[in-house]
Amino acid sequence: MPRPLLLVLTLTLVAASAVLVTAPPSTAAGPTLSAFKHPGVLVDKAQLDFARQQVQAGAQPQTAAYDAMKASSYAALSYTPKPRAIVECGSNSNPNYGCSDERNDALAAYTHALLWYITRDDRYAKKSIQIMDAWSAVLRDHTNSNAPLQTGWSGASFSRAGELIKHTYGGTWAQRGRFEAMLRTVYLPEVRNGAGCKNGNWELIMTDAAIGIAVFLDDHAAFDKAVSIWRGRLPGYVYETTDGSYPKAPSTCPSKETRDEIIDYWQGQSTFSNGLAQETCRDFGHTGWGLTAATHVAETAYHQGVDLYAEAGKRLTDGFYFHTRLENGAATPSNLCGGTVKKGLGAVTEIVYNHYHNRLGQEMPTTLRYTESKRPAGANYFFAWETLTHANNPR
């Protein structure tokens, strides 16, 4: 064989060997070897296009949802953000130094991003950018006891707003890098490692923010970490009889080892059935936050090729059935929360119903009845306009 050809073959084999040695290993957690799909935080382009087509056609329930969104204070083109350098939030947001302002501004940024996509009116995109830029110019930290939860609430909405503008708006966003740096250095470190033994809605909301920020930043390690936290928390939040005679402890709270410790953690509830949640006997409002945050994580992961819905299908559907059945008027069993529950689940069922019914064809009449009673779903803390984006949306 001629020496030049031999040299070429030798170099080729060396290069190929180097690739085989340095290629990153595959993982079960997520698409770490391929690019993320954009937009892909809670909604993707196909879903957005479907919602836009429905509104343009005057179809329901999207048109009523769009009208409610456009009439809300979050949608005003005169909306003025109220950023601050340090957001201090104590228990129950007391003290409230910027807590409500930050949550509202994040929801407004997402609202204007959706309005931009539906209308193609540049003014809405520019308003969303203005809100995000206002915060990225000054925010340095979240403090006091509610800091992790506050960061989750606001980070979830900000990541959705940023994702839509970054990947659907062709205009100028000069300070996008600064906004990305804010999410990377102020928000993500606060939410990425979970909430330990706090009530489960905390960790699920924080993970909702973490996975949205991860996709927006194209951060595969953060994405994988969020998926891992979710997998370790959900069985510690929604019970299934296959778990054993009592619920599992969340992976971030291994200190809850005994039955008595678990009963105390589950608000004193000592009998367990499919779909019961760790906060059911606290109140349905916080439980709704936990359930919908869990669904948000699954929806974002689904868009990125990781089917958490399939992994936890019975657990999620049982969780929503358990609570919507009671919300719809079923009698509270005497062995549940002492025979009395605090209702108020909220408009949190559009996404889970859409996936299991409209994508997979599963019958969920109890959840449907409740979902229809809450339409059009509005905006609250960290979820917004999900009738518009997900109702009857097969994409």
Instruction: Please tell me the predicted confidence (pLDDT) of residue 381.
Output: 98
> What's the angle, vertex CA 205, arms to CA 221 and CA 357, rounded to 5?
95
Residue 224 in tokens: 């994988």
- Residue 143's φ and ψ, nearest 5 degrees, are -130, 170
Instruction: Please tell me the predicted confidence (pLDDT) of residue 300.
Output: 98
379 membership: H or E segment, kind and range: strand 379-380
Contacts of 224 by beta carbon, 8 Å cutoff, 6+ apart? 27, 29, 30, 32
3-state secondary structure of 263: helix
Instruction: Please tell me the predicted confidence (pLDDT) of residue 99.
Output: 98
Query: Model pTM?
Result: 0.92
The alpha carbon dihedral of 273, 274, 279, 282 has a sign of negative
Please answer whether residues 191 and 151 qualify as being in contact, where contact means their C-beta atoms are separated by less than 8 angstroms: yes
- Distance of alpha carbon 200 from alpha carbon 289, whole angstroms: 9
From residue 364, alpha-carbon distances to 95, 302, 356, 361 in Å are: 41, 20, 8, 9
Instruction: Please tell me the predicted confidence (pLDDT) of residue 3.
Output: 37
Q: Give mean pLDDT in consecutive 10-residue pieces for the chain, a chain of 395 residues.
A: 37 33 36 80 98 98 98 98 98 96 99 98 98 99 98 98 98 98 98 98 98 98 98 98 97 96 98 98 98 98 98 97 98 98 98 98 98 98 98 93
Are β-strands 96-97 and 86-89 bridged in parallel, bridged antiparallel, or unpaired? Answer: antiparallel
Instruction: Please tell me the predicted confidence (pLDDT) of residue 13.
Output: 33
- Distance of alpha carbon 10 from alpha carbon 27, whole angstroms: 32
